[in-house]
Amino acid sequence: MSPIGTAAGRSPIAAGERVLVTGGAGFIGSHLCECLLAQGCEVLALDNLSSGHTQNLAPLLSHPRFRFMRADVCASPPPQAEGVQRIFNLACPASPAQYQRMPVQTVLTSALGVWQMLELAQRSGARLLQASTSEVYGDALQHPQREEDWGHVNPLGPRACYDEGKRCAEAMLLAYARQYGTTVRIARLFNTYGPRLQPGDGRVVSNFIRQALQGEDLTLYGDGHQTRSFCYVDDTVRGLWLLMESGHEGPVNLGNPVECSMRELAERVLAITGSRSRLVHRPLPQDDPRRRRPDIARAAQWLGWRPEIGLDEGLARTVAEFRARAGALRSPSGPT
């Protein structure tokens, strides 16, 4: 990934600055680590590998300015993390299949883990960016979703461990900012996709691509008319960088404002893969949002940010990486 810089064409982070990325072995986290190294940062990636994978970091492990630490964000940060100047807190399972398998850990990550990172930020004088989520809007009553919306979330449903956990995390960041003067940033990420998605992680893009490449039926939940807005991972990472280095706390929506139904997404994946798989319907899960599209006026005004990679281009890149990964796994020289 090429250096990002700012609207002025240069990065305000000094070369060699120490940056901590929690959830660094995850899908977005690994791309962020790659970006930060390209900017000249010293990067510490922390992950307990409950949903992250070290193979996401394989190209970085030998880099002289990169260090991976296997640790739980809910525990006291390892000594190596003391004195960091920036903290990107991405630690948390991100797909419904993942966080519903471990709801207690998900809540703790968004409460105790965020508290640990805020305490570290206080001790180190660091700026902390929290990766929040569009799920704080729940099954939104307003459309598109704006940062001023309070959301419509079921606090007792099967998704509450994630939705309410992230809402708690946002509240805790702003409480620290008000009471202690901690410098914080809040990014609300909408559906992000791209290379390094895990085929079995339960997210719709990875599900559809895996099913299409294996000739399986593509599973549509409900009537397939519910919508999401899909942002390519490079665009998301660029937004995180720009928000961290901006003068704005947020929250700021980071997502692609182009809305796409699940049926349309499935048809695009079939066209790109050339698969002859069928579309089959299953019951809609409880509390599944009907529509999801970000208002990105804040991101555009405050950060000069808009997504640059269209859905067809992003899907084509993702499909190509899925195919290459599958080919490596089948190769006699590849891992078994």
Choice among 99, 162, 176, 193 that is catalytic: 162
SS3 assignment for the chain: CCCCCCCCCCCCCCCCCEEEEECCCCHHHHHHHHHHHHCCCEEEEEECCCCCCHHHHHHHCCCCCEEEEECCCCCCCCHHHCCCCEEEECCCCCCHHHHHHCHHHHHHHHHHHHHHHHHHHHHHCCEEEEEEEHHHHECCCCCCECCCCCCECCCCCCCHHHHHHHHHHHHHHHHHHHHHCCCEEEEEECCEECCCCCCCCCCHHHHHHHHHHCCCCEEEECCCCCEEECEEHHHHHHHHHHHHCCCCCCCEEECCCCEEEHHHHHHHHHHHHCCCCCEEEECCCCCCCCCCCECCHHHHHHHCCCCCCCHHHHHHHHHHHHHHHHHHHHCCCCCC
Is residue 162 flagged as an active site residue?
yes
- Residue that the structure tokens 């529509």 belong to: 291
Which positions are annotated as active-site residues? 162
